[in-house]
Structure formats: C-alpha cells, structure tokens
C-alpha cells in the first residue's frame, strides 16, 4: 500500500512533547485554514477600530508605529514574526489532532489552555504548515 500523499495536510502530523510525559499531536493545516486565520486577525483589528473609533484607533496605530521606530522598523517587526498575522484559536482548532490522553480536541479544551501552551502549539502548527520564507531559506 503506498504512503499517504503528503500534499494533503491531514497526512502530515507531528508530536509536540512538553517534556513532562505529555505529548499533543498536531497536523499541518491547509491553505484555506491559513487564509481563515489571517482573515480573523484582520477582522479583529477592524472591529477594534470600530469600537474605539477610527480617530482613536489611528492615533494608537501611529503611536505604535512611532514606538517601533517608524514605518520601516514596524514592517521589519511584522516580517520578523509572520506568525503574528494568524489567529491562534483558528490554528489550534484545526491543527490539534489529539491531547496527551489520545482524545480529540474540543473548543472548550482549546479555550482552557494556558497562554504558554496555546502559543507553543499554535507556533508549532504554523511552523509545520507554512513554507519557509526567503530569509529562512537564506539562513539554512
């Protein structure tokens, strides 16, 4: 029997070992989930702008850009960690295959994760799912 076709993301899984005997199995997520995770982050920013008002949001945005050292520095900060463009909850929901006890993930379980664990798992799913950037390939 041939091996599963590796271009289907569901065929690419990986254990994330927390070193305490607990291993969470994750999988690579597909392009549509990545698209949804990016759109969720954008939608949250738009909603924040609506809730505080565009003037206040613009001031906060300008202040943040200035604190990062200007537009080119801010762009470099985002480019340095492209993971930040993606919604963690979306990555976790679609990327966790099973918990350490072998049970499937639930929304309640994902929402119950502590911040460090959620970030570790979401970053692992992102790393497994996204091709390396030009800079990543240059550093290999």
Residues in the chain: 140
Residue 86 maps to a domain: yes
Q: What residue has token string 């550093």?
A: 139
Please, are residues 85 and 38 in contact by the beta-carbon 8 Å criterion? yes
Amino acid 2: pLDDT: 53
Look at the chain and report how many structural domains it folds into. Answer: 1
* Residue 140 pLDDT > 80: no
Task: List, for residues 99-130, the tens digit of each pLDDT value.
Answer: 999 999 999 999 999 999 999 999 999 999 98
Q: Has residue 104 been placed in a domain?
A: yes
Domain assignment present for residue 4? The answer is no
Asked if residue 95 is part of any domain, the answer here is yes
The pTM of this model reads 0.73
In terms of residue numbers, what domain contains 43? 9-139
Residue 122 lies in a domain: yes
Sheet hosting strand 13-17, strand order edge to edge: 13-17, 23-27, 96-98
Does residue 26 contact residue 95 with C-beta atoms inside 8 Å? yes
Top pLDDT among 133 and 30 is at: 30
Q: According to the model, what pLDDT value does residue 54 have?
A: 65
Q: What three-state secondary structure class fits 20?
A: coil
Residue 3 lies in a domain: no
Specify if 91 maps to a domain: yes
Q: Is position 22 within any domain?
A: yes
């Amino acid at each position: 029997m041939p091996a599963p076709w590796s271009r289907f993301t569901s065929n690419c899984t990986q254990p994330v070992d927390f070193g305490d005997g607990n291993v969470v199995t994750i999988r690579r997520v597909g392009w549509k989930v990545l698209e949804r995770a990016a759109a969720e982050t954008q939608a949250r920013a738009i909603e924040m702008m609506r809730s505080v008002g565009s003037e206040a949001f613009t001031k906060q945005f300008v202040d943040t850009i200035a604190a990062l050292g200007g537009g080119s520095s801010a762009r470099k900060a985002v480019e340095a960690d492209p993971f930040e463009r993606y919604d963690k909850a979306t990555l976790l929901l679609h990327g966790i295959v099973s918990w350490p006890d072998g049970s499937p993930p639930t929304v309640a379980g994902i929402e119950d994760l502590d911040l460090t664990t959620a970030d570790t798992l979401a970053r692992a799913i992102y790393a497994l799912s996204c091709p390396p950037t030009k800079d990543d390939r240059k550093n290999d």
